[in-house]
Every structure is written in structure tokens, then in C-alpha cells.
Amino acid sequence: MTAASPAVGMDGPGTGRRLWAFADRWLLKLFTIGAITYLMVPIVVMIVFSFNDPVGKFNFVWAEFSLDAWASPLNRPGLADALWTSIVVAIVGTFIATILGTLIALALVRYSFRGRNATNLFIFIPMATPEIVLGASLLSIFVATATQEPFKSIIPPGIFYPLGLPTIIIAHVMFNISYVVVTVKARIQGFPRHLEEAAMDLGANEWTTFWKVTFPLIRPGIVAAALLAFSLSIDDFIVTNFTSGLVNTFPVWIWGTIRNNLPPQVHVIGTAIFLIAVGGVAISTWLQSRGGRTVAIRPR
């Protein structure tokens, strides 16, 4: 376990010290560059192949450079709709799951109450459930709301059945809550309570204390959790396939399309989403650094 952290120390006598200086400056940096490169490898391949003009219907083998796919990125029936559905589902689903999950994480770490240990363990169960079980069981429940009493008379049609956007979002929130709870909890643990107490002592009420002190401190955890939830949501295929009814999402569309063709448009869309997102993050980083300091929220 310990074998993995070069350059963590800063000092050491004699030759050791020079090695330290070297390691500290370069080894970790090199490692980081290597790891990020590893993560980027398939993305680079994707970007390269978005400029391919494949022979035949499958964009697997490099043929020749072309801008055709970039000139008509959405020129596939159903692709634009599927993409739009995916984005809506991911944004709405992430938003709801992040709020619900963060509230649970706060309760679990900050309070002691009857049933806390059980809840802690319960949170892991949805994560431990194979996706296909989540999907198939949800589908049977959605169908039951339309066919079986007492659900049939209580629940108006159109919420759970017919299947569609609402049922996809319900499913995504469901499988994302646990991931949010676990990620946010890792942040709240070891949280410096005295800051909150100081704020209260200075006369802030609980609400103000939460927004001015607690929230900024746990925000990196919430952001990380939301990122995780968003990425799980936008890439989900199995659960979505069971709960989507007549609606298609981008992953479902791609999983289907591969049976008969793989147009370079798929690579173009992937590249575009990647570039827009990276561009957005890079610009906001740049703006923040120009505006003085980044929002550094580390207890110091």
C-alpha cells in the first residue's frame, strides 16, 4: 500500500536531501503526467478517429483524414434527441441525487441517532446490487403501478407508466444517491466543528452558519460527488435500457448502433462533449486565477 507515494516528504540529510529535492520536484509530477496520459489514451484515439473517413459502415480501421463527420455531427436520425435526453437526465438526476445524498451524509456524520449504523450499512446495498437487478426490478414495479391494485387506483398514469423521461431520472437518482453519500461523507469526516461553533458564538444562526461556514468547507466533497454522479448518469446503459420506454439516451443509442454500424459521428459527439467540458473547466480556472485567488477551502 505504501509503495505508491513518491516524493511525499520534503527533507532528508545529505545525498538523501538531493534525491528528495529531485523526487519532490519531478517524480510526482512525472507520475501525474503519466497517470493522466493513461486516462486520456482512449480519448486521444477517439479524437483521432473522429477525423476518419471509414471504408464501410464501421469506424474501426483508419482509412483517410476527413472533416465530413465534423461538418454534420448530428446527421443521424435520433442522435440529437438521444443526446439531448442524456444531458437532461444527467443534469436533473445529478442535481436531485447530490442534494438528497448530501443531506444523508450530513445526518450520518454529524448526528448520533438510533439506526445510524444500520443506515450506514444500508447505503452500500444499492451499490452492491448488480445494475441489471436494479433495472429489471424497477421495471416490474413501474409496470405494477399500472396493472395492480392498490397502486393502480392511487397512482395516476403518466408518472411511472408509460415509461419515459421521469422514470429514467427516478432510476438514475436511485443508483446515484449512495455514491454521493459515500463521497461526501469522506469529506465531512474530520470536519473542524470549532469553526461552526465560533460562528454561532459570534451570533450567526444555524442557517447562516451552514451557508457561510459548513457548506464552503464541504463543497469540494459535494462537487466531487456531483461529478461522479454526473459521469455515472451520462454513461449508464443497463438501468436506462429497462426504464426508458420509447425514449433513447446517448449510450443506449450507441450500444444499439454498433450492431450494424459505427459512424464517425459517434466519435465527433464524444470529442465535442469532451472539448466543451474541458474548455469550460479551463476557462473557469483561468478566470478564477485572474480574479485573484481560487476558492481555496482548506482549513488552515
Please tell me the count of residues contacting another protein according to CB under 8 A.
158
* DSSP line for 47-62: HHHTTB--SSSBTTS-
Q: Which residue number, 51 or 221, has a Cβ lying nearer to another protein?
A: 221
Residue 44 CB, shortest distance to another protein, in Å, is 8
Q: Which of 51, 85, 94, 106 binds another protein (CB under 8 A)?
A: 106
Helix (H) or strand (E) holding 285: helix 264-290
Cα torsion for 188, 190, 191, 193, to the nearest 10°? 130
Q: Does residue 202 bind another protein (CB under 8 A)?
A: no
Residue 173 binds another protein, judged by CB under 8 A: yes
Per CB under 8 A, which of residues 20..79 are in contact with another protein?
A: 20, 23, 27-29, 31-32, 35-36, 38-43, 45-46, 49, 54-58, 60-61, 63, 72, 75-78
The dihedrals phi and psi of 91, each to the nearest 5 degrees, come to -70, -50
> What residues between 219 and 258 interact with another protein by CB under 8 A?
220-221, 224-225, 227-228, 231-232, 234-235, 237, 241-242, 245-246, 248, 250-258
CB 46 within 8 A of CB 273: no
Q: Mapping DSSP to helix (H, G, I), strand (E, B) and coil, where does residue 262 land? A: strand
212 in contact with another protein (CB under 8 A): no
189 in contact with another protein (CB under 8 A) = yes
Nearest approach in angstroms of CB 246 to another protein is 5
Map the footprint of another protein across residues 127-146, applying CB under 8 A. 127-134, 136-141, 143-144, 146
Within 8 A by CB and 6+ apart from 199, the residues are: 208, 209, 212, 213
Single residue of 92, 159, 165, 170 touching another protein by CB under 8 A: 170
Question: How far are the Cα atoms of 28, 69, 81, 165, 195 from residue 93, in angstroms, in the given order?
Answer: 36, 30, 18, 11, 32
Check whether the bond before 150 is cis (ω within 30° of 0). Answer: yes
Nearest partner of 94 among 173, 186, 179, judged by Cα:
173
User: Is 10 a residue that touches another protein (CB under 8 A)?
Assistant: yes
Among 9, 84, 215, 216, binds another protein (CB under 8 A): 9
